[in-house]
Structure 1
């Protein structure tokens, strides 16, 4: 019997240990559920647990006992963001409009997880329909940061990030339309990957017109993993990536896409970096940690240059594009019929009067940004920035009161992430340290068109520079 807890292992090692009968899938699932029971009363990472989890695990054990084939994630416990549909398991999208909704089918990624032998533990909390960078909604208690429960873990994949950081599960799925994987990864001290647009297919999410709210963000949305390491994220992507006939934008995934490059091959790359992209206000501690990471990386990779694409502040563009892709008519009608008032960012989008000229101007601005970024990434293999402009702040708020002593709009703390959504480029957040009061800090790695493997490989190099065995919560 291995000395470590099964929840200390990476995905590949854990699945192998279960397949080799060092642990039963049932015992691993029981350990997960026990930790969820002990911690989640304070964290609220999960909003719905799957009552079939133990039966799923017992089926894996049965198949192993009978010598039947099992998948590459056999027995691995996984959490799924509550924006992602799960057949027969309540999926609320964080909205009172769907408080009792039970999908008729799994999302493609959930189908693939199940086919790979993963155990679905439950659904993780999110902001309403993903509109917002925190984990607050009117259906469930607000998700808390495992490092300090007075603080937010970031969002909108709040519960997924908190569940991985607290080591309740080694893998959780998130979705990312403007940073909603990378933002909570940064604030929660875990690894989060937004793959290239289309690399992981989406359906019914974004594309089922029957469900207002769920069906938005089509040209911005991505699904990806939150894990403890880049290697774990690569292993998860090997399962969930690849084309589907249900997603007309999905792209192929070659057999070697997720084999991380040897660190030696990265010595020939060119890396651009910027702490502010020329406009952002960044907390001094975040900037200092970022500059330290660049210095250490520069000792490993020579070609590191302080520069950035001149795209400017894109906050208003995200707002308009999200409004363009939101079923405003459907949501307003549904909310009116149910007598429910939608507030926050979503509410403001529904209340405003938008013109066709505004939407056209936003589409042209997006093209400008894509073209500038493509030209820039023709010269550089990677662009590095902080993942967020500040560390975690008070839960149940939409942003810090100020950054670097300046009062700013609530969304000013997330200036870096939307660029990868506008362009569809792969991007990840890698933990690089902590503030003096113990809040995690993340570094964002953005790569060239379709170079997901390169982003993961560079992220793994950065991870090695900042390895730590410090995790929140009680020991495993």
Structure 2
């Protein structure tokens, strides 16, 4: 059942939150081989579900009544073990809920488990020394991507209808694209962030709903969104503005000189043609970036952040770290202040370029990923679009969105010859989250029709 259907059924008392939670727990147990949900607490889950049923019986109106939810293993959920996929935090218990989790619970959601992440949510494959690899639901030898691989697989495999990830560079858009579900990265500040762990990439990470369809993602977003004085980045979102004809545009490579697999490129073009046939007026247009701007220009911010947070622990005992994260920390330790300043300037240039583009366009359509899933033993595919690919070649279409602070959503739009999914990314100006959700919902309906 979809999240919205569960909430309606529990509200109408046709079923109970306890029953839905028990069903989700049984599916999680049956899907253990996927390694998507790495922590469960059945007694705590049942107590939460029973409390929701009592609130419904007392007449409360709960938009997420009884909806089972998996939370990514870097978001604080009070009383649960939350580790960031790191040996350093293997025994950590979150002292309180993040604000977004408080709001989910207030809306009636029931937390049934914690979803796997790569270490510190800083890797494009969901593996960690603490838990091992999370596996693609269609092929256990493949990765769902990262870092929100656990939450994405939990939804794609039908373990739960809803999950909450985080997204600092595409972590909750790329995994959904690789497994065929929806991942929504809201505007920076639309949902309060924290209290929780210190972030390696300050000022770009957001809470991100993952669901089978846009309307379920919207339901979770509306439950979590809104200003909170404890997070100075938060703001009150306006409603969706449909006063003028929507200006939609398609960019096959987001204006970047990057490789895309032929099947993904042709599949995206076919999906855009279907949307045009369904009545959407979509022009062709690319964002214009400063010369030679690429993700490499902003990656020093993540490396420096990791070094600042964990450099001392790394020097003390490097074996506690995933080797791929260790390399990032080493790079961060070698950076100068000028290197970090240049990366901050590149981040600002990205934000300004997107802001200029959205003066003339309301919603931009682009690829979410340039390729389909690859073996989990590799950081990325060795070839993309017939060209040798770097370890971050699979991630080229998502990080700029984070540095601009704008909202983006990935919806399923096709599969390759082997049936592996890829996604279409829809992007809008900062604060236009509700408009973006409206357009994404219409696009998903057209592609499914």
Bin of the TM-score, shorter chain as denominator length:
over 0.9
CA contact (8 A) 1:269 1:303 kept: no
Report the more deviating stretch, 241-250 or 308-317.
308-317
Q: Distance in 1 between matches of 2:127 and 2:282?
A: 42
Shift of 1:324: 3.7
Shift of 1:430: 0.6
Counterpart for residue 370 of structure 1? 351
Alignment length (residue pairs): 443
CA RMSD of aligned residues (A): 1.9
Shift of 1:429: 0.3
Shift of 1:454: 1.7
**1:405-416 counterparts in 2 under 5 A?**
405-416=386-397
TM-score computed with the length of structure 1 as normaliser: 0.89
Shift of 1:21: 1.1
Structure 1 runs, 4 residues or longer, greater than 4 Å off:
336-339
Shift of 1:323: 2.6
Report the more deviating stretch, 275-284 or 314-323.
314-323
The one of 118, 142, 151 equivalent to 2:109 is 118
Q: Distance in 2 between matches of 1:278 and 1:197?
A: 23
CA contact (8 A) 2:367 2:397 kept: yes
Q: Distance in 1 between matches of 2:79 and 2:20?
A: 23
Q: Distance in 2 between matches of 1:112 and 1:103?
A: 17
The one of 436, 441, 449 equivalent to 1:460 is 441
Q: Distance in 2 between matches of 1:345 and 1:252?
A: 38
Counterpart for residue 229 of structure 1? 213
Alpha-carbon displacement from aligned partner over 1:389-448 (angstroms, at most 9, x marks no partner): 101111132101211222121111111101110100100101001111010110000111
CA contact (8 A) 1:433 1:466 kept: no
Counterpart for residue 471 of structure 1? none
Report the more deviating stretch, 268-277 or 28-37.
268-277
CA contact (8 A) 1:60 1:70 kept: no
CA contact (8 A) 1:272 1:308 kept: no
**1:53-202 counterparts in 2 under 5 A?**
53-65=45-57, 67-69=58-60, 71-202=62-193
Counterpart for residue 247 of structure 2? 270
Q: Distance in 2 between matches of 1:344 and 1:382?
A: 39
Q: Distance in 2 between matches of 1:100 and 1:437?
A: 41
Shift of 1:332: 2.2
SS of residue in 2 equivalent to 1:268: coil
Counterpart for residue 23 of structure 2? 31
Q: Distance in 2 between matches of 1:278 and 1:185?
A: 22
The one of 313, 319, 326 equivalent to 1:334 is 313
Shift of 1:339: 6.1
Relative to structure 1, is the Cα distance of residues 386 and 35 closer, same or farther in structure 2, using a 3 angstrom cutoff? same
Report the more deviating stretch, 374-383 or 74-83.
374-383
CA contact (8 A) 2:185 2:409 kept: yes
Counterpart for residue 295 of structure 1? 273
Q: Distance in 1 between matches of 2:36 and 2:122?
A: 17
Shift of 1:302: 2.1
Q: Does 1:383 align with 2:357?
A: no
Counterpart for residue 318 of structure 1? 298
TM-score computed with the length of structure 2 as normaliser: 0.94
Report the more deviating stretch, 122-131 or 338-347.
338-347
SS of residue in 2 equivalent to 1:346: helix
CA contact (8 A) 1:113 1:239 kept: yes
Relative to structure 1, is the Cα distance of residues 313 and 133 closer, same or farther in structure 2, using a 3 angstrom cutoff? farther
5+ residue gaps in structure 2? none
Shift of 1:318: 2.9
CA contact (8 A) 2:128 2:322 kept: no
Counterpart for residue 399 of structure 2? 418
CA contact (8 A) 2:413 2:447 kept: yes
Q: Distance in 2 between matches of 1:200 and 1:322?
A: 22
5+ residue gaps in structure 1? 1-7, 207-213, 469-476
Q: Does 1:215 align with 2:215?
A: no
Shift of 1:159: 0.4
The one of 373, 376, 390 equivalent to 1:395 is 376
Shift of 1:294: 1.4
Q: Distance in 1 between matches of 2:199 and 2:256?
A: 34
